[in-house]
Structure 1
Amino acid sequence: MSADPGFNRYIVQQEGKSVEMWYLDTFSKLFAQDGEARTTAAGLVHKYLRNLTLSHFGSESLRMSIEFVAKQLFGYVSDKSKEKIGEKFGNISQGLFSLPLNIPGTTYHSCLKSQREVMDMMRTALKERLAAPESYRGDFLDHALKDLSTEKFLSEEFILQIMFGLLFASSESTSMTLTLVLKFLSENPHVLKEIEAEHEKIIMNRESPDSPLTWAEVKSMTFTLQVINESLRLGNVSLGVLRRTLKDIEINGYTIPAGWTVMLVTSACQYNSDIYKDPLTFNPWRWKEMQPDVIAKNFMPFGGGTRQCAGAEFAKVLMTIFLHNLVTNYRWERIKGGEIVRTPILGFQNSLHVKLTKKN
């Protein structure tokens, strides 16, 4: 286990050289295709997946349209679907670190059941697209199906696994981070006042207050991004990342043998008092003065290296837009709950209960 920022950054940059991606067995089985986990895809496969993901969820695609992840992937519209995909992923998240006992009544059994239901939902959408190719929508699913004939490693089941993985990565981390933002803003009125001022200024500068949000406005929300970064720093959803050594690694006079698992505890680095003054204090203003190279070494909420989450920019923009609509249209107060715990992933001892009221 490593909480050394320099070593952690070195390891994430060694993907495919001295280390490879590694996951717990319960996690890998959840994302397995025909019994084979594809979560560690490398080389041409990984390059294809990253480029395809960025084309639909990277910063360039966000300039034209901001849609929910499921709609971007396969046209899912919650109002028209009997299945509530959010509830399914709630069950899946609960089972990730549970005892992998697949019998009725266990958390893991419920997790696998929800996973199958989500896969069936997406499989139905895939079959409908194949049966009616003229109904091209240009989303992630259409793009992947178009590449079936040119990319030999692609299959229908692999495409479903890719979409499932992207849905999982976006659903849990984004919703949890937004809950943390709500908690921190309710506990820090001076921060809330500053973020409200930023968004009210944006509306005041428009020709019409009812104009839709623009890309330029999103990019101008610097303090909002600082609030998001500070929430990620204090409440990183993931404890860290896992890698397996492909060869012996020498570090500070020690040898990490080939085949060993290395856990980079990136969340611990984000509490380093040498980098973050008063690290337990929620202080979004600290990001204003931090240098990019310092941030790169000591702040990795989305991983790092070639394996950094391709949807990182999408997640930040999605949270920014959510906060814009929240602070400009609503007031809220915390009623109860919201105590942070790790069991072992980030969560709340009691659900955060807030009271929302519409602004006049």
Structure 2
Amino acid sequence: MVVEIYFIVICLLTLSLAFLLTKFLSKSKIKNVPKGSMGYPLIGETYGFLKALRQDKGSEWLEERVAKYGPVFKTSILGSPTVFIIGQQGNKFVLGSSHDVLSSKKPPTLQRIFGKQSLLELTGSRFKLVKGEMLKFLKPECLQNYVEKMDELVKTVLLRELKENKTIEVVRLMKKLTYDMACNILFDIDEQTREVLYEDFILAFKAIHSLPINFPGTSLWKGLKARERIVDKILPIMNKRREELSKGVLSSTNDMISCLLAIRDENNQPLDEEMIVGTFIFIFVAGHDTSATLMTLMIWKLSRDQEVYNNVLEEQMEIIKQREGNEDRLTWGEIQNMKYTWRVAQELMRMIPPLFGAFRKTIEDTNYEGYDIPKGWQVYWASCGTHMNKDIFENPEKFDPSRFENRTKSIPPFSYIPFGAGLHYCIGNEFARVQTLTTIHNFVKTYEWSQMNLEETITRRPMPYPSLGLPIKIKPRCNMS
């Protein structure tokens, strides 16, 4: 009986949305909307798009439509009419446009998980205010102070997880490691609370790219329930830190929650509680998972490419060799000397970018390359449109870290965009770099490993991960000299 009711509701919603969309398009004064298919009512082409991403065939999904409709085409994704804009100029238009042309407002699923007032949704002066304050925690001067703490945390987690020779899943390990780093270094969340919240953050992240259907058992429903539990846990922490800030026990530089609580706008008013909670969830969910993706793919690549592995190992061992005495603590200067290791990471992010692309939303009716894009429609950019373009990167299918070393042909702006670009450049890119290099340094110098399934493919859910979780056989390195 319950299933029948759900089916009837879905049918009614589908018919209603189809009627409203048809009515809107027929009355619209917009004359030259891009060509394309809107797919099925309600779900549009969401299922096909997400299926292609899960199979790591997102670029093929795009190429089919670009071949049929051109580099600008329309569809419907995650419950909203969407225009895909592919290529360097498209990236520049989407990522470089001001907030009064394209806002950061996201599809309904992302809004419901992150909240309507998270950093992801802010515009104008409010966006600049919050982003500016948060950058104080992520600029190089501050990151230098995090290196020692990160190094110790990585060693502790690896020692705890890898006590004996055994098999581990790298995806699970890296997600837990980056989560612990965010809790410990950025938010000062105690160990008991972080353990309780961990699974809920995983569920929330899975929900942001799910179908916009909120029925018991669906990914969105599970994600929203997880969000409720996260909010229930974080509100008491916020209240306590707000009180400690007022008493002078804490300062705004203690952690990011305290930073957000201490912000005052132009009218000397604090941020809304919903905005602080939403920004906390956004940074936690998005930040720790993107770093975990890159760190996992580094281990995956080193497992499969002996030449790259040897070069990384040589660089990391040379860093250890240059240390004075018995010092075993990583330094900021050593991080800067990991040039080849980071070029490997850069090339991985070119070929398998953490973000396949992202959404913006039109504030008013707008125009691009002669096409009209109605107010309220989503606009989507895709990194593969430039990352795998042979006119920008020579032999784009070849893995070549040297393309990021002393480039004779500079990469055009808005072409290499693993961290976004323009107004929307990721504020955590340097934090992710230090996280990744610290982890790979400790992993390579301490352990030897082999991938258990060389046929393991990459899947996106929505970040790119080895489909089986990357199980490896691992043991302590025999010779540390």
Asked if 1:7 corresponds to 2:90, the answer is yes
- Find the counterpart in structure 1 of residue 379 from structure 2: 262
The amino acid that maps onto 2:445 is T
- CA pair 299-332 structure 1, distance change in 2 beyond 3 A: same
**1: distance between equivalents of 2:114 and 2:473?**
37
The aligned counterpart of 1:143 is 259
Q: Cα gap change, 1:195/1:84 in structure 2, threshold over 3 Å: closer, same or farther?
A: farther
CA drift of 1:163 comes to: 1.4
- What SS class does the counterpart of residue 459 from structure 2 fall into? strand
The farther-off stretch of 249-258 and 171-180 is 249-258
Correspondence for 1:104 among 188, 197, 216: 216
Confirm whether residue 355 of structure 1 aligns to residue 436 of structure 2: no
Q: TM-score, normalized by length of structure 1?
A: 0.90
- Aligned AA for 2:343? Q
1:15 partner SS: coil
Partner SS, residue 398 of structure 2: coil
d(CA) in 2 for partners of 1:51, 1:344: 28
Residue 216 (structure 2) pairs with residue 216 (structure 1): no
Amino acid at match of 1:114: A
Residue 351 of structure 1: how far off its partner (Å): 1.9
* CA deviations over 1:185-232 (Å, ceiling 9, x no partner): 111010011011111111111103433111111112111111111111
* Equivalent of 1:278 in 392, 395, 400: 395
Q: Is the 8 A contact 1:22 1:243 kept in 2?
A: yes
TM (norm. structure 2) is: 0.68
Q: Report Cα offsets for 1:100-141 as digits up to 9, x if no partner.
A: 333332222221222222222222221222344454261122
- Cα offset for 1:257? 4.5
Indicate the residue corresponding to 2:464 in structure 1: 346
Give the 5 Å matches for 1:194-343.
194-247=311-364, 249-290=366-407, 293-294=410-411, 296-336=413-453, 338-342=456-460
Alpha-carbon separation, structure 1, partners of 2:270 and 2:240? 22
Contact 2:206 2:223 in 1 (8 A): yes
Structure 1 unaligned regions, length at least 5: none
Are the counterparts in 2 of residues 15 and 21 from structure 1 also a CA contact under 8 Å?
Answer: no
2:188 to 75, 79, 102: 75
User: Aligned to 2:290, what secondary structure does the other structure show?
Assistant: helix
1:119 aligns with 2:231: yes
Deviates more, 1:133-142 or 1:225-234: 133-142
Match of 1:83, SS state, is: helix
Give the distance between the partners of 1:215 and 1:341, measured in 2 at CA. 34
CA RMSD of aligned residues (A): 2.5
Matches within 5 A, 1:179-194: 179-194=296-311
User: Residue type of the partner of 2:308?
Assistant: V
> When the two structures are aligned, how many residues end up with a matched partner?
357
Distance in 2, matches of 1:31 and 1:61, equals: 26
Q: Which of structures 1 and 2 has the bigger CA Rg? A: 2
Aligned identity (percent) is 25
| Per-residue deviation, 1:326 | 0.9
Residue 65 of structure 1 aligns to a residue in which SS? Answer: helix
For residues 236-276 of structure 1, the C-alpha deviation after alignment (integer angstroms, 9 at most, x for no partner) is 12221222234555544444454442211123321112222
User: Can you list the C-alpha shifts for 1:267-286, whole angstroms capped at 9, x where unaligned?
Assistant: 33211122223322322222
Any conservation in 1 of the 2:312–2:340 contact (CA below 8 Å)? Answer: yes
> Which ranges in structure 2 are unaligned for 5 or more consecutive residues?
1-83, 151-180
